[in-house]
Amino acid sequence: MRTLLPVLLAISLLAAQDVSGAESVRVSAWLNQETAESAGPLRAEEVAASLAGETAPVRKVLGPRDGLMLLLVTDVVGDLMLAGKAKQALAERIEGLPDNVWVGLLRAQDGLKVKVDPTPERKPVTDAIRTLPVSGRAGLLETIVTAAGLGDAVLARAGVRVAVLYVTDSDVRNYREDFSNPVINGSDYRDMSRRFPDALIRDRISKLETALVAHQTPVFIVHLAYRSERLNEAYQTGLMRLAAATGGTSAFCRSQIEIPEAIAAAFETISSHYSIEVSLPEAAPRSVEITLSSPGRSLTHRNRFTK
């Protein structure tokens, strides 16, 4: 069993230390494909940032040509067929990554555990993926804030982009915590547990969303097994909210055929993202909204952050 400390130590090998002192945020952003092809890579002098209508200096822009640390978190505990498809797709995508990408492999069961420290080598990661067990309880909700915090620790210390990717087949009923909100009085139509059976999972998602907005690392989720019953639909909608709150994306597969495509799309989105460092004023409020623009470009980005 390994701790998260090796992940933090590994960043010193990946990039030089960031010694800037003023407070700042790293904003995840994307150029649309047409813009990216016609205008070329985005540079710091081409980006304007504003905070509550006031200009905010853009300190640095890192893009697809710069270093990337991908923290891959597996949360696969159910169907062996789905897990096999996901493992194969992950191994293929990792083997095809460029040299500027480091990959660390973690597992979400029983807390966040490191399986392979971040490395530019592909074989240790792909070998570990192929031998990962498919068992245990779902762990995404219990580890997602920790994973985002780990990403932030890397962002704060190294001049690289960072992203977290969860690959999960989690069923809301397979968590140690019971989110079923059982009916207390089935004969009473005013009983809130009867009218809102998904209230507990919605409440948990809201709390996690609030916690994630305080982090700067984008989190991406590929769910291998879409489920259509009410409680899992509320859970899956919640996962969409959590990814969006961080500036990441989510995908939900309705069949095995969709798994390789969903994983490929997540890798493409992660690889193409920009990390734009914006300085904050000394008296910045606890909650800020940042707007980015670049002449001649269409820029999509996360804009809400809290301290």
Band (pLDDT 50/70/90 cuts) for residue 21 is very low
**Buried/exposed 91-101: b ≥16 CB within 10 Å, e otherwise:** bebbeebeeeb
Q: What is the pLDDT of residue 194?
A: 47
Please report the beta strands in the chain, taking only residues with DSSP state E, as ranges in sequence order: 24-31, 48-51, 54-56, 58-62, 68-75, 101-107, 113-119, 161-168, 219-223, 250-252, 274-279, 287-293, 299-301, 304-306
* DSSP assignment of 195-212: H-TTHHHHHHHHHHHHHH
pLDDT digits (tens, 9 = 90+) for 165-209: 999 999 999 999 999 865 455 554 554 444 557 889 999 999 999
CB atoms within 10 A of CB 166: 29
Q: Which residues contact 20 (CB under 8 A, 6 or more apart)?
A: 59
259, part of any domain: yes
Helices (H) and strands (E) in the chain, counts: 9, 14
Picking from 37-51, 108-122, 124-138, 213-227, which range would have the lowest pLDDT averaged per residue? Answer: 37-51
| Residue 306 phi, psi (nearest 5) | -130, 160
**Global pTM exceeds 0.85:** yes
Q: What is the pLDDT of residue 187?
A: 52
Closest CA to 147 of 91, 76, 215: 215
Domain residue limits at 229: 68-271
59, part of any domain: no
% residues pLDDT > 70 (the chain): 86
75, part of any domain: yes
26, part of any domain: no
| Number of independent structural domains in the chain | 1
Q: What is the mean pLDDT of residues 140-153?
A: 97
pLDDT digits (tens, 9 = 90+) for 76-86: 998 899 999 99
CATH code of the domain covering residue 96: 3.40.50.410
pLDDT digits (tens, 9 = 90+) for 254-278: 999 999 999 999 999 999 999 999 9
